[in-house]
Each structure stands twice: as structure tokens, then as C-alpha cells.
Amino acid sequence: MKPVTLSIDAMGGDAAPQVVIDGLDIFLGRNSGFAIQLHGRADELKRLLNGKSWSRQCEIVDQPDVVAMDAKPSSALRRAKGTSMGGAIQAVKDGTTAAGISAGNTGALMAMSMLSLRKMAGVHRPAMTAIWPTLKGRSVVLDVGANLEADADQLVEFAVMGESYARAVFGKEKPTVGLLNIGSEDEKGRDAVKFAAEILRTRDLGIDFKGYVEGNDISTGAVDVVVTDGFTGNVALKTAEGTARLVSTYVRAALTSSLLSKAGAALAASGLKDLRNKLNPSNVNGGVLLGLNGVIVKSHGGTDAEGFATAVKLASDLAQSNYMDEVAAGLKRVSKLGISPEAVE
Amino acid sequence: MKPVTLSIDAMGGDAAPQVVIDGLDIFLGRNSGFAIQLHGRADELKRLLNGKSWSRQCEIVDQPDVVAMDAKPSSALRRAKGTSMGGAIQAVKDGTTAAGISAGNTGALMAMSMLSLRKMAGVHRPAMTAIWPTLKGRSVVLDVGANLEADADQLVEFAVMGESYARAVFGKEKPTVGLLNIGSEDEKGRDAVKFAAEILRTRDLGIDFKGYVEGNDISTGAVDVVVTDGFTGNVALKTAEGTARLVSTYVRAALTSSLLSKAGAALAASGLKDLRNKLNPSNVNGGVLLGLNGVIVKSHGGTDAEGFATAVKLASDLAQSNYMDEVAAGLKRVSKLGISPEAVE
């Protein structure tokens, strides 16, 4: 069988390229049937690959430039050519690779991906996903920052794309979908959210729509897919990250506050290791800009090797799934209905 | 000295009136100089007060009706008279009491308070506050649900009201203020947020404005006052609650996963008790609808006695502060500038 090739931005992220190489080490140690196209400074990468068992599965594409983590998307766009990020995306566009992964500048990655891969037919606004740890396992939240606002049509599109994505990533046949709102009553919430709910409730889109969910329902895993606009989704995601960090700090303080509690923590070490694993953002690393003609996965810029491996695994799962066909079919159903917020009012 | 009188909705909340009485027990045990006006079913309350040392500081006002926790605000408004919630608010309106506290239906409390107390001169939209535990202590977040949207003028109003409120509650001379946004760069974010930032940055409102904060900055305590619209604020608040609960569940599971870890948890008991105290929502219970001619504090409906006591303490602090005068002065400064989003564009 021909290997599935993935293109990697080797220079993106806070600790690149070392973390990228270490992450690929982990990914390729666990998964077979893949080839890697590594975009970045060839001499630096050659040195790092030296002695790796998988260096023969790996092609280095020399890219002299790197998109700075603080570069503005507009300026990054103008200088995309010759960058490790631009090269990794272009390979997906050309069909040379099945998916691309970068831990670099998020805004630049979104802008370059949109310009290069273009939106799928029927998509008005691509949406950024996050995978969220829950009491039941994992959920998808979208949009977490690709757009500042979303009208009802766009929220419905996000629901269609998110549902297909959840099926591809979680392997669940019929993922459940909820709309993020304040209060669960029908009459509450912003107009766009209410119109979107009306569409999802009444039109036959083949989606298992569970109605409104509130912020606290995300972590319980009330639904598999939580749909919201990019502003609200981004604030929710970062608020959750901040809260988890706050609570972890408290836990650490509690378990080192005295000799006795330190001894207790030592006894409870294996349980606490489980806890660290559960709270480890590496385990849920990987955002995808849904709605483009190609798979690009964004890894957290500050990720460790394990997290980068998670993002690569996500990309490989998507590349081998038929989620793009599913999204296309779902969007066709939406466009056939000819829905618009006005039609529902 | 004449005691400060507080009016209490004795029947509001999931475990009323018992939790309310127990909460007053705690509050009055710790604070002197207060009298209580207890609104609710007189015979039931009389029984509960029997033998309390503070029953002589307490006047019972018989109110035969209770606003149901799931009542719609509109229907609650029509039947406000004769309810324990309506009575507690009316007493503030009449000037009989210095502040009112209720753990009842939030929507009904907001609607009744607005109708009865009316907005302060210069206030376009009252805003609901939440007190947020942070790495540095506590911060105020507003609006957390009184409004669905907020334009730039309203966000500036929230900043003015929130700053005065933080000074009254935290006793900090110059609380810092931030605007919730996605990304900290100047060019990012929704127009209303950008316009509000421009106003707060360039006009002399006497506010120590620190610019944009992101979701993760709330928990670190980056600023004392986080300003946002009610939809975003409500989602952030509930998302944080859900995340804290998720992490706490993980911690509990980690510390009971084996005999060894249970033994460890027993040794670390005192440290873990600190942790529980820090995570205990009772310690930050109490939301205030800012911008009305009077102080009404909303306690969480599912609070325990300690939490209700916290909400009463918050109300008593506000009643004894000059925050309403401060808010009025701040709003006068805003109106003198004659600002509007258009003026900044």
C-alpha cells in the first residue's frame, strides 16, 4: 500500500524544530504507513534527522524562511513563498501530501490556508475547531476564533461541518450537536442563535440536534459538537484553559503545603499521574480550519512532543477519513433548503 | 448607632428558607450593627427563627407567594406583589432597607429590580456582575447576563460601574480595568470592543485601563475588572464553572483510585481542605445588578448557608460604601464627553 504523506511545518512553534522532530518520532513509532515531507531549513533538519530510523520515510524540502510567531497575517501572506509554513500548505494544495500540520502563527496559518486551498463550494466561512476534554471523553467546539461573528446561516454551516468532523475524528456514527447559548429556554438568546436553532430543529439536515447548551455543559460532554461564533468560542476556550491552570495551581499548592501533605502526594503518585495525563493539553492538541479544500491542522505553539504527535495523528485520521465528502454532502443539503435567517423569522 | 437594615427574600433558592436562615445565622454571628427584614411565609419563618439569638433584630414581613425558580420574568413581573422577592425589592425602593438579597429566579429578580428601582440617571443598560477567583485573589467580571449585546457606549458604562464596584467591594483605591477580547493586539476584535478600548484609552475617565485581556487572563487576575457583553460574560462564567467541576472530579478520582492514593489523600487532608475552600463557590457567591437606584444582590440558587452569608456580606459592604455616588459621578464624566462609537470611528 502506498504510504499516506503528510507535510510538516518543521519551523513553526515555540520550540521548533526540535519538538517537531521529537513529535514525529513519537507519531511514527506508533503508526505505520506514513511518509513525511518536512518543510524548513534543510541543513538544520538534516542534522536533527541524523540517525533517526524514519529518516528514509522523510523528504526534506528546503525553505529558508520562517513566519514569525508575532507576524501579522497580512504581512505573512505577502511573504508566504519560501517559508516552512507556506511550503507545507502548498504541498496540500498541489495534492503532493494528504494533510499539513503546523505549530506556527495561527492567524498566518489561517490566512495562508484560506488563500491557498480556497473554501469548499457552499462554505461561506471556514471555522476553527478545538477538541475539548469532557467528563464523558471529548467534544468538538467550533468556531474558536476564525471569525468574529456568525449569523444563523453560518452557525448552521458550522453545525454541518462540525458533525462530519466529529464523526471522522471520534468514530461516532451519529454525533450529537448543541448550540451554545445563555439559558436553555427557547425564548432566550441572540437572534442569530435562535434562528439557527429553528433551522436545525425543523429542517431535515440529518443532524441529531439537541438544542441549546450552556457554558457549563461543554465540560460535562452534554453534546459531541458545540456550535458557536468565533468570538464566544475563543473566549470560552481560553477561559477554560485559564480555569484549569488555576485549579491545577491550587492542587499543587494543596499537596505541597506541609510535610504530611507531601508524603500524601507521594503515596498518591500514581493517581496524580493519571490526573496530570487527563489535564495534559497535549492529549487534546490540534485545531482544524474546517471548510477548506484540504486538511490543515494547527498545533498549539507551545506544545510538547507528545502534543505535536497528537496533532499529527489528528491530521492523519482526517486525511484517511471521508469527512470532506461528508461536509460537501451536508452543505448541499443546506443549500437545497435555501434557508436564510429571513426565511425563518 | 442606628443599625443598617437588609431586606431578605427568605423563600428564594433551592433550599429556602432553611439555607437563608442558616446563612443569616453565620452573617450575624460575624457582623454587628445590622437589622434584618425577612420577607416570606410568616408562620414558617417564625418557627425557624424560634430560639435564634438574633430574632429580636429581625422583622418578619408576611408574603404569601413565592416566585417559582422556573417562572418567566414577564409572568413574575405581573405577580410581583405579595411575593417574598417582590417584598424584599420594594423595601429597598421605599428606603426602608439599605440593600436586598435573594437566591431566587435570576431573570425575575433582574426584571423586578429594574421595574421597581429604575435605572440610575445616565445608565442605558444595567449590568450583572460576578466575582471571580483568581491567582491573585478576586476580580469582577461584568456583564454576565443582564444583556445579550453591548455597543461601545455600553461597554464604557460597564467599565465605569465595574470600577466603582470593585473599589467598594475589594477596598482597592485604583482597580485596574480590561476589555475582554480575542487576541491582545490592537487591530483584533469586534468593532464595539475596539471602539470602547479607544474611548477608555484616550478620554479622561479616571480609569486605570490596561487594554485587552483574553479568556485565560481572567483567572490569572491580570486586571481587577473584566468588561464584556452579557452573552460572552455568561458563557465565560459558566464555562469556568464547568471546567472547575471537571478538574475537581478528576482530582477526586485520582485520590481515590487505589488504596495507596486513598492513604495519600488522608495524609494530605489538611492541604486538600484548603483546596476545597479555595474552590468553594460559596466564597465568591453574590452577583449585583449594577446601575439601579438601589442595591440588590443575587445569591446563587443552589448556594449553601456559607454562600448565602457571603452574599449578605457583599450587600452590606455595598450598602455602607459610596459606590452609587461614585458610579453617578463616573457616568457624569462619560456623558460630559458626549462620546459615541461614531465619534471614534
B264-283 pLDDT per residue, tens: 777 777 777 777 777 676 67
pLDDT, greater one: B202 or B187? B202
Q: Which of B188, B216, B241 would you mutate first to test chain A, the one with the most A CBs within 10 A?
A: B216
Determine the residue of chain A that is closest to B74 in CA distance: A187
Give the residue-averaged pLDDT of A275-297: 83
- Taking CB atoms and an 8 Å limit, are B219 and A240 in contact across chains? no
Per-residue pLDDT at A187 = 66
- Residue B261: its chain A contacts at CB < 8 A? 267-272
pLDDT, greater one: B139 or A334? B139
Instruction: Count contacts between A and B (CB, < 8 Å).
Output: 221
- Asked whether B130 and B140 are in contact (CB, 8 A), the reply is yes
- Taking CB atoms and an 8 Å limit, are B263 and A264 in contact across chains? yes
Give the residue-averaged pLDDT of B69-75: 89
Encode pLDDT of A47-63 as tens digits. Answer: 999 999 999 999 999 99
Cell of B70: 422556573
Give the residue-averaged pLDDT of A147-168: 94
- Residue B250: its chain A contacts at CB < 8 A? 275, 278-279
The reported pTM is 0.90
Of B215, B256, B262, the CB nearest to A239: B215
Please enumerate in sequence order all residues whose Cβ is within 8 A of that of B218, keeping only pairs 6 or more positions apart, or say none: A239, A242, B132, B134, B139, B141, B180, B226, B236, B240
- Asked whether A52 and A30 are in contact (CB, 8 A), the reply is no
Name the one residue in this structure whose C-alpha cell is 450529537: A176
Per-residue pLDDT at A338 = 67
Give the residue-averaged pLDDT of A237-260: 84
pLDDT over 70 for what percent of chain B?
Answer: 95
Q: Looking at the predicted complex, does its ipTM rise above 0.90?
A: no
Of A134, A182, A267, the CB nearest to B267: A267
Per-residue pLDDT at A129 = 94
Name the one residue in this structure whose C-alpha cell is 507528545: A306
Q: Look over chain B and give the mean of its residue pLDDT values, rounded to a whole number.
A: 90
pLDDT tops 50 at residue A345: no
Encode pLDDT of B228-241 as tens digits. Answer: 999 999 999 999 98
Helical ranges in B31-105 per DSSP H:
42-49, 73-78, 84-94
Per-residue pLDDT at B186 = 62
Per-residue pLDDT at B344 = 43
Q: Which of A136, A182, A259 would you mutate first to test chain B, the one with the most B CBs within 10 A?
A: A182
pLDDT tops 70 at residue B341: no
Per-residue pLDDT at A343 = 42
For residues A90 and A81, give the distance between their C-alpha atoms in angstroms, rounded to a whole number: 9
- Residue A220: its chain B contacts at CB < 8 A? 242, 245-246
pLDDT band for position A344 (cuts 50, 70, 90): very low
**Cα B278 from chain centroid?**
18
Per-residue pLDDT at A185 = 66
Burial class (CB in 10 A: 0-12, 13-18, 19+), B137: exposed
Determine the residue of chain B that is closest to A265 in CA distance: B264
The distance of B234 to chain A (nearest Cα, Å) reads: 6
CA distances from B111 to B74, B118, B229, B289 (A): 8, 10, 18, 10
For residues A310 and A303, give the distance between their C-alpha atoms in angstroms, rounded to a whole number: 10
